[in-house]
C-alpha cells in the first residue's frame, strides 16, 4: 500500500490543483464577462455623455441667441421710449402754442368787443349831440327814433380741431 499512497496523494494534489485551476478559470471567465459588461456600460455612458454634451452646446447656442435677441429688443424698447418722450414733448409744445394762440384770439376778441361797445356808446353820444343841436336850432330831426338797431351778434366760438400725434406742421 505504500507505493500507491504517494500516487494517490500526488493524484489528489493534481486533482486539487486541477480543481483550483478550474475554479480560477471560471473566476477569470466570470471576471472577463463582468469586465465586458462594465465596458459596454461605460461605452453607453460615454455615448450618453457625448450626446448630453452636444445637447448642452446646442442649448448654450440657443441661450446665446435668445440673449442677443433680448438685448436687441431692449435697445429697440429704449429707442421707442426716447421717441415717445420726444413725441410727447412735441405734443406739449404744440398744445402750449395752440393755447397761446387761443388766448391771443380771445384777448383780441375781447379788445374788439370793447372797441365796438365804445363805438356804439360814441355813436349814441353823437346821435344825442346831433339831436340836442337840432332841438336847439329847431330843425326837424333826421331820425325819428324808429330806426332799427342792428341786433348784437354773439361771437361764435370756433371749434379747434384735434391734431393727432405724430403729425408735423
Statement: the pTM of the whole predicted model exceeds 0.85:
no
- Confidence band for 137, pLDDT divided at 50, 70 and 90: confident
Using the predicted structure, report yes or no on whether residue 157 has a pLDDT greater than 70.
no
Give the confidence band of 2 by pLDDT, cuts at 50, 70, 90: low
- Per-residue DSSP letters for 84-139? HHHHHHHHHHHHHHHHHHHHHHHHHHHHHHHHHHHHHHHHHHHHHHHHHHHHHTTP
Q: How much is the pLDDT for 20?
A: 95
CA atoms of 63 and 148, how far apart (whole Å):
88
Give tens-digit pLDDT for 71-94: 999 999 999 999 999 999 999 999
What's the grid cell of residue 20?
483550483
pLDDT at position 169: 44
Rounded to whole angstroms, the maximal C-alpha distance in the chain is: 197
C-beta of residue 140 within 8 angstroms of C-beta of residue 134 = yes
Rounded Cα gap, residues 31 and 166, in angstroms? 83
Q: Is the pLDDT of residue 166 over 60?
A: no
pLDDT band at 151 (very low <50, low <70, confident <90, very high): low
Q: Which triple of cell numbers denotes residue 129?
A: 349831440
Which positions ≥6 away from 91 have C-beta within 8 Å? 165
26-35, 62-71, 75-84, 146-155: which range is least confident on average? 146-155
Amino acid at each position: 500500500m505504500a507505493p500507491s499512497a504517494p500516487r494517490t496523494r500526488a493524484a489528489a494534489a493534481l486533482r486539487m490543483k486541477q480543481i483550483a485551476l478550474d475554479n480560477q478559470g471560471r473566476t477569470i471567465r466570470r471576471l472577463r464577462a463582468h469586465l465586458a459588461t462594465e465596458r459596454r456600460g461605460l461605452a453607453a455612458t460615454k455615448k450618453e455623455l457625448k450626446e448630453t454634451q452636444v445637447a448642452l452646446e446646442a442649448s448654450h447656442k440657443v441661450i446665446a441667441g435668445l440673449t442677443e435677441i433680448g438685448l436687441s429688443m431692449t435697445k429697440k424698447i429704449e429707442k421707442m421710449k426716447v421717441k415717445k418722450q420726444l413725441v410727447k414733448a412735441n405734443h406739449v409744445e404744440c398744445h402750449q402754442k395752440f393755447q397761446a394762440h387761443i388766448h391771443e384770439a380771445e384777448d383780441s376778441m375781447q379788445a374788439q368787443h370793447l372797441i365796438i361797445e365804445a363805438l356804439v356808446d360814441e355813436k349814441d353820444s353823437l346821435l344825442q349831440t346831433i339831436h340836442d343841436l337840432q332841438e336847439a336850432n329847431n330843425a326837424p330831426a333826421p331820425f325819428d327814433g324808429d330806426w332799427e338797431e342792428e341786433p348784437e351778434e354773439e361771437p361764435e366760438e370756433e371749434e379747434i380741431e384735434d391734431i393727432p400725434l405724430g403729425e408735423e406742421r
